[in-house]
Structure formats: structure tokens, C-alpha cells
Amino acid sequence: MEETEEDKKDEADYKRLHSFPLIRHSDMPEEMRVETMELCVTACEKNPTNNESAAKMIKETMDKKFGSSWHVVIGEGFGFEITHEVKNLLYMFFGGSLAVCVWKCS
């Protein structure tokens, strides 16, 4: 089935409406949460079609900035259960349906 012009326009409008980060859950301190959120947005915008590269960029930056043992998952339609250090978790959505989960576990 071919995508019509109207379908493409609707998808573009949807992505434009949801181009801001939506934090679903976080227990990080305010300053750390803002830095992490901005890093996630930057990584997802630089790698819009490659979630693996975006996750790697986020992980490496978080390891350098806040110490090692950071984990990152980026994708659509996944579930998870994790163990994390207190005050080191961020779960957010970006671009509509792209979920980003960043946590530290040593």
C-alpha cells in the first residue's frame, strides 16, 4: 500500500507536535536531569534513524560526566524492569513514540 501525500503530512504534523521531550519518570536531581534530557534530545536528533548510535553517544557522555556504569535503551514498543541506583534514573519520550531510558547500576 502506497503512502499518500495526506498521510505524509499527518506524520510530519505529529512529529512536529511531539518534538519536545516528555519526561515520564525521573528521580535525578534537577541539574542532572536537565543535562541528561538535553543530551538525549541532541543524540536522538543527530541520529534519527540509528538508535544504537544515539544510545552509545548518551552512554559514553554520561560515563565521562557522571562516572561509569550507565545504561541506555532507546526504541519504540518495549517493556523493561531494571534495578538502578537511587537518584540515577530518567525515562522519557521524544519525537512522539521514541522512548529513552537512562540509568546507572553498579
Domain count, the chain: 1
Q: Range of 97's domain?
A: 3-104
- pTM given for the model: 0.80
Query: What is the structure's pLDDT at 106?
Result: 78
Residue 64 has pLDDT above 80, yes or no: yes
Residues sharing a CB contact under 8 Å with residue 85, sequence separation 6 or more, in sequence order: 103, 104, 105, 106
Query: What is the structure's pLDDT at 16?
Result: 54
Question: For the domain that residue 26 is a member of, what is the CATH number?
Answer: 3.30.740.10
Instruction: Please tell me the distance from the alpha carbon of residue 90 to that of residue 104, in angstroms, as a whole number.
Output: 10
Residues 31, 37, 39, 42, CA torsion sign: negative
Query: What is the structure's pLDDT at 18?
Result: 57
Q: Of 1-5, 19-23, 90-94, which range is least confident?
A: 1-5
Instruction: Please tell me the distance from the alpha carbon of residue 36 to that of residue 102, in angstroms, as a whole number.
Output: 8
